[in-house]
Structure 1
Amino acid sequence: MTARVVIAPDRWGPVSSPQIAEAMARGWRARNPSVDVRVCPQSNGDAGLVDAVAGADPAVTTGVLEVPGSTGSPVLVPYAQVEDEGLPTAYLAMDSGTPPGKPGSSYGTGHAIGKLIAAGARRVVIGLADSGTLDGGSGLIAALAGADPHEPPGAGNAVAARDLLRSRDVRLIAAYDTSIPLLGLTGAAAAAQDTLGLDPYAAQEAESRMSRWARELAQVLPGRADLLTGKPHRHDRAAGSGAGGGAGFALASLGAELRPAAEVVAEATGLADALAAGDLVVTGTLVFDWRQLTDSVVSQVGARALSAARPALILAGRVDVGRRELMSLGFSGGYGVVQTPRTPLPAAPAQLVAAAEHLARRVAGTWTPTHSTPGG
């Protein structure tokens, strides 16, 4: 009986998940050509979200929107669109159009959402990873309200943005890569010190701005009343509200559903059906460390493989967690290109692709070994 392997990785640094999935598939097939290998690349809400969704369904249409960038230059935002349960559904990922280390505005993302709505989308999924923004989603709301990008952000735009969504009966889904809140020691500004290289003073100023913005927006668009306390729900404290530089908070205030991006993409790509039809599941990420234990592609794939009673493996550039953590996520093993943090990982995309292919070929010999036939 032919073994069936499902390869469903996240991206490896600068290399997209479809490229990594194809590299692993080539390595696996090279080691054992008789194996039936299916690729099902995943995404955690970054720019690869569109490619992952588009590659899973031939009925998906793709395109590019030109929107204003934070630096004044236009930004090209890819999107994918498909009919989902009778609703025209669009997928896009945030992109501020600013170089790394300099927070930008979410205005361009709001502009892209508005264009998709005008074109007929009735459900829009927004990936919040790698947004490059830190404005609490004020720019996004301004764009949806039709405000000038050069005007100071104001909570008054929120009513016009909400009315647009209601008049078109549009549902938004904010697909977050991290469950952080908007404010506080684990909030968006604090996280930006690592993700955007923001210095502590600039982070403190951003925290103050977003705190004022959150208070203003809560006055204009108060959350639903809590059934136990009677107090309005605090969108700024919701899991994922700090994702996308706080865009998750703005989207939640407009009525969007906040969901883990890995879960949303798994559903869009039919991962559950792929796992059910497979015998072995292989996922991957560049560095598998403590940050991958929740709200990640590998944790999502591990949970679904465990639910489907399928053995699962992680192929990574480096594995920084122990066997106990691997097993707790549902994995039977984890394999790295390099073995210690002191060993540098390949840097160039071509080197990473080659490393993923070589690692998959090596692991395939253990998990789907070839068998010699008599006289062969």
Structure 2
Amino acid sequence: MTARVVIAPERWGEVDAPQIAEAMARGWRERNPATDVVSCPQSNGGADLVGVLAAARPDATVGVLPTRGPAGTEVPTPYVHVEDQGYRTAYLPMAQGLRPDGAVGDSYGTGQAIRELIWAGARRIVIGLADSGTLDGGSGLIAALADRPSQADHQHLAADVAGAARRVVRDHGVRLIAAYDTAIPLLGLTGAAATAQGSLGLDPYVAQAAEARMSAWAQQLQTALPGRPDLLTGATHRYDRTPGAGAGGGAGFALAVLGAELRPACEVVAEATGLGAAVLAADLVVTATLVFDWQQLTDSVVMQVGSVAQSGARPALVLAGRVDVGRRELMSLGFSGGYGVVQSPRTPLPCGAAQVVAAAQHLAHRVAGTWTPTHRRSDG
């Protein structure tokens, strides 16, 4: 009987996951035309979140909201609506980007988008926090949600503004989910400002100033809107220490204050795209990323796909531009193998959309010759 392969990659650089999935599916079919290849692209909650959901869900409705961009101008913010368990759910990427002068943007536009979606009737809103290019502790998001005017710096807001934003969410019965790509806290050596030095190329002094502003902002909100006490210790929950609070330049912290549930984006997207069901119906699972290294070992698409495959007792492979994890480590993580376009860190990775797509297709074509099963599994 026909073998079935599920291909569930994330994006490679600037090439979105649906394009990578389609390229790999083409390569696999070229090598083994009889194989039933199923594309199930995934996302870490970044700018391709809408495209991934639109590709996976027949009931998806894509829309665009006009919001304020990082330079104060109007920019289109995409979103997608689906029906999840009786809820009208909206998925919204927080992809604001840097200002033209290289300074970090703020989260005001995302707050505007959330407010518009609430008024449009969404009762469950998932905000992807990857690729934000922001570093304001979510103060802009709270100001916009409370319908306060846009300002250059929102972190002097009175705490009652956060209370007003929280009431908007609660009065409309909205469930917020902050889908983070990394479980960092708001502050500290592994927090939002420290991480932004590398990811956004910030000057250390700029990052330190942002850390100080976010620290004061967090203290203000924690005092005005304290978290629930721990039932065992009695200690008040610290929103700024919640895993994922530092994601999105601290937008995760603001969303936690508003009552949002903070979850890894890879888990949220896997559920929304039906990855589990697709894996159970497959003989082989293939995931892919641009570089598979130690940074991918937590809260990543690759590890999420591998975990779902392992739970379903299905063999899984990693395809990448480059694999920096050894074979023994791959096997300990539950993968049957890993294959890269290039083998050495000294060899340049494919760049440019056309080159990346061609490399992904060629790699899948090569691997298909070895790994496509010759018979279907037995369901007995």
SS at match of 1:309: coil
Greater alpha carbon shift after TM alignment, 44-53 vs 146-155:
146-155
1:280 deviation in Å? 0.2
Separation (CA, whole Å) in 1 of partners of 2:268 and 2:286: 19
1:285 offset after TM fit, Å?
Answer: 0.4
Select the residue among 212, 229, 234 that pairs with 1:208: 212
CA distance in 2, matches of 1:221, 1:323: 49
Check if 1:184 corresponds to 2:188: yes
Structure 1 residues 7 and 338 mapped into 2: Cα distance closer, same or farther (>3 Å)?
same
Q: Does residue 109 of structure 1 match 2:102?
A: no
Contact 1:32-1:369 within 8 A present in 2 as well: no
CA offset at residue 42 of structure 1?
Answer: 0.2
Query: Is 1:250 equivalent to 2:251 in the alignment?
Result: no
Deviations 1:77-122 (A, max 9, x none): 1111011111110001002243585310000000000011110000
Match of 2:199 in 1: 195
Aligned partner of 2:330 among 322, 326, 348: 326
Secondary structure of the corresponding residue to residue 156 of structure 1: helix
1:308 aligns with 312
2-structure distance, mates of 1:151, 1:102: 12
Q: Are 1:259 and 2:263 counterparts?
A: yes
Q: Tell me how far apart the structure 1 counterparts of residues 265 and 134 of structure 2 sit (CA, whole Å).
A: 18
CA distance in 2 between partners of 1:40 and 1:78 (Å): 21
Contact 1:128 1:243 in 2 (8 A): yes
Pairwise CA distance, 1:370: 7.7
Q: What residue number does 2:130 align with?
A: 129
Report if the CA contact (8 A) 1:8-1:21 is conserved: yes
Measured in 1, the distance between the counterparts of 2:365 and 2:164 equals: 55
Alignment of 1:38 onto 2:11: no
Is 1:32–1:370's contact at 8 Å kept on the other side of the alignment?
no
Structure 2 CA distance for partners of 1:92 and 1:245, relative to 1, 3 Å: same
Letter in 1 for 2:114: I
| Distance of 2:224 and 2:297 partners within structure 1 | 37
2:83 alignment partner AA:
E
2:50, 2:80 within 8 Å by CA — same for their partners in 1?
Answer: yes
Structure 2 equivalent of residue 291 of structure 1:
295
Q: Deviations over 1:219-241 (max 9, x none)?
A: 12111111122221001001100
SS at match of 2:126: strand
Equivalent of 2:349 in 345, 349, 374: 345
State whether structure 2 residue 369 is matched by structure 1 residue 365.
yes
Counterpart amino acid of 1:344? P
Q: CA deviation at 1:216?
A: 0.5
Which 4+ residue blocks in structure 1 deviate beyond 4 angstroms?
none
- What is the TM-score normalised by the length of structure 2? 0.95
Quote how far apart the aligned CAs of 1:18 are: 0.2
- Letter of the 1:8 counterpart: A
Count of residue correspondences: 371
For 1:14-53, list aligned pairs within 5 A. Answer: 14-53=14-53
Partner of 1:219: 223
Shifted more, 115-124 versus 221-230: the winner is 221-230
The percentage of aligned residue pairs carrying the same residue is: 71
2:97·2:131 contact (CA, 8 Å) conserved in 1? no
Can you give the 5+ residue segments of structure 2 that lack an aligned partner in the other structure? Answer: 376-380
RMSD: 1.3
Using the TM superposition, name which of 185-194 and 225-234 deviates more. 225-234
TM-score of the superposed pair, with normalisation by structure 1: 0.96
| Contact 2:97–2:134 under 8 Å retained in 1 | no
